[in-house]
Chains A and B, each alone.
Chain A
């Protein structure tokens, strides 16, 4: 089938990409706002356009357990979840990453209870950054589609062999519609060859997976870390190869936007990047030297890219759609641990917003840049600022 343009939601774009990636096994449990992904994939298996084994499981814990079992015999696998579902499968995440199975999972970013809420923030996925999974965050449906395809190639690369979580902001991206370029099957097949691995159970060459290795646990995990350090180069390489073949590339670990001569830079994750781009363009026209850097990956963390940007700006802001209660935003903590290696790091503000889906508007982003420009001018600013809180507060 040749490529074409289709009008789809973020969830549908993911489902289309999964069909193109031809996984052997799909194992998933529906949860809002991921549901459309598994419904569409189920349709594809039913109508024969995707020849996969589709496992209807009774929970997210079982979804990841079944995906692990399939991966253990060398199958290409896919699963998808969100929010409470991700936390329910959390036990399995280090199992999968430690066993070095390249499972690809879509996560629809949705907040965590309590209070119960359905809308988007990043508290679910960021709670799992220590699980050994690569994490990528998408800005729009096209990037989501492209990253599912790229994710298999990155995850299955023998230098990496790590599972990947592809994150889409719930509703903001999963349920909004846009025109998307759908690559042709032959082109995708050429980009993403069938998965072949020695990391599997095999009767002819008996191996054990998910073994006990109490004496050598530390060495296994040190190897996992050393291999993960190779992932940024592989991510950049796959991004270039994808660009050469399909004409779209995303800049690897970080996409800087109008940062070259910027005095202040705002770091973003996910869909809020789109809002911030518009504000950067408007403020540039007014003569303000502002820029943004879209953090595409949270693990492995883009330390080097952040250092390069931080080294030449006068102030830096980090938007966190999450909070580690008792400290600060999780992205901010990670950025700080990189930036503190500079001899004179720029002053920084953590903008915490969007919790439980609270809107972050162009006006709010403009306000953040205003704060950063004042900070760059030497004014003292609150280190952590809550954005768009609905009433008076002392934060």
Chain B
């Protein structure tokens, strides 16, 4: 998937070195996976690749380039819209760190 690269960001060593106003743009200093409490897990047996989840994902975190739909967990913030919208119930929201996560 064509994602912006996370670049290493080093904070200025001194307050005086901070920019006066405008800050360099167009670089990503961290992904947003840390926001997530629940992760969506796709049951590939049930998925028919209708792409409804792909369309509704607010972060564009569903990758359809391969044979199987895959979720980019580096950018998925766990909102659950995909699971809510999936007509086949192929997406389950699993609490992060839960050992019962069958999809992993």
Contacts and interface: CB of A to CB of B under 8 A. Distances in A.
A227 B18 CA distance: 11
Interface stretch (B20-28, B59-67, B93-101): B20-28
Contacts of B12: 219
Contacts of B20: 100, 158, 161, 199, 223, 227
Secondary structure at the A interface, as helix, strand, loop or mixed, is loop
A206 B25 contact: yes
A101 B21 CA distance: 8
Interface residues of A, number: 22
Interface stretch (A18-26, A147-155, A208-216, A274-282): A208-216
B18 A220 contact: yes
Contact of B22 (A198, A219, A222, A226): A198
B22 A208 contact: yes
Contacts of A199: 19-22
Nearest to A207: B22
A234 interface: no
A200 interface: yes
Nearest to A200: B22
A222 B15 contact: yes
Interface in B1-35: 11-12, 15-16, 18-26
25 contacts: A100-B20, A101-B21, A158-B20, A198-B22, A199-B20, A199-B21, A199-B22, A201-B22, A206-B25, A207-B22, A207-B25, A208-B23, A208-B24, A209-B23, A211-B23, A219-B11, A219-B15, A219-B18, A220-B18, A223-B15, A223-B16, A223-B18, A226-B15, A226-B16, A227-B20
5 pairs of A and B residues whose beta carbons are closest in the complex: A100-B21, A199-B21, A207-B22, A208-B25, A206-B25
Given A100-B20, A211-B23, 5 more contacts: A206-B25, A209-B22, A219-B11, A223-B15, A223-B20
